[in-house]
Structure 1
Amino acid sequence: MAGLGVDMVRMVRRNKLVGFWAAEKLALAGENAKTYSDGLAMAAMDAERSNILVIIRRDFDAAGVILSDEDILAVMNVCWLEAGKQTKGADGSDAALVHIARHLMQRS
């Protein structure tokens, strides 16, 4: 992922981790799970598709997977922290800011 900023690399990694989690919930396995996860990872690079919560919510609703947006966001936050551990030059301190910002947006 040379040439990408630390934040973008971290976002791609986070999306990939979330993608594998979501794929499991959608009963996808093997190559299908990898393809789903790769699609969410690539969404980080496309401004029009970067809101993976919307993508996952749509896919879960279509498949009858019952999880709240809060549950999905919690997994996304855990994956953000994990992606930070895997990304050289990143730290986990901004995960708290992301979490706080999401809660403030939900209240407005």
Structure 2
Amino acid sequence: MTTFDEREEGFEKKFAVDEELKFKAEARRNKLLGLWAAEKLGISGDVATAYAKEVVAADFEAAADRGALHKVLKDLTAKGNAVTEGDIRAKMDELLIQAVAQVKAGV
């Protein structure tokens, strides 16, 4: 194996690790978003945990964070919460920082 091949293999492995971290962090962020929204909806306990799982699942149904965002926006506005798409995006950005830290820490 040449040095070039070894470097290429190293880059491929790093890319795979980075993509796995990104996937885990986004899923964790969506779970945290679901728990945040559940609190705003007055949901707690096992029901809040189940709702957070629904938010995570919703994100798999649409691309680029739209599933989680639209589900939370729809549910919050349906219950009379004055929240905008921008508010939720800002919360998602905030929660992504927490999620990355949690995933890196193995929490």
Query: Above 0.5 in TM-score?
Result: yes
In the alignment, what sits opposite 2:84? Answer: 68
Determine which structure has more spread, i.e. the larger CA radius of gyration: 2
**Counterparts of 1:1-108 in structure 2 under 5 Å?**
5-44=20-59, 46-48=60-62, 50-51=65-66, 52-88=68-104
- CA distance in 1 between partners of 2:27 and 2:90 (Å): 17
Q: CA RMSD in A?
A: 2.2
Partner-residue secondary structure (3-state), 1:27: coil
Paired residue total: 86
**Equivalent residue, structure 1, for 2:16:** none
Show structure 2 runs of 5+ residues with no match.
1-18
**Residue number in structure 1 paired with 2:7:** none
Q: Which runs of 5 or more structure 1 residues have no equivalent in the other structure?
A: 90-108
SS, match of residue 104 in structure 2 = coil
Contact 2:77/2:83 (<8 A) preserved: no
Identity level (%): 32
Query: Hey, which of these two has a bigger chunk of helix by percent?
Result: 2
Q: How much does 1:29 deviate?
A: 1.0
TM-score by length of 2: 0.70
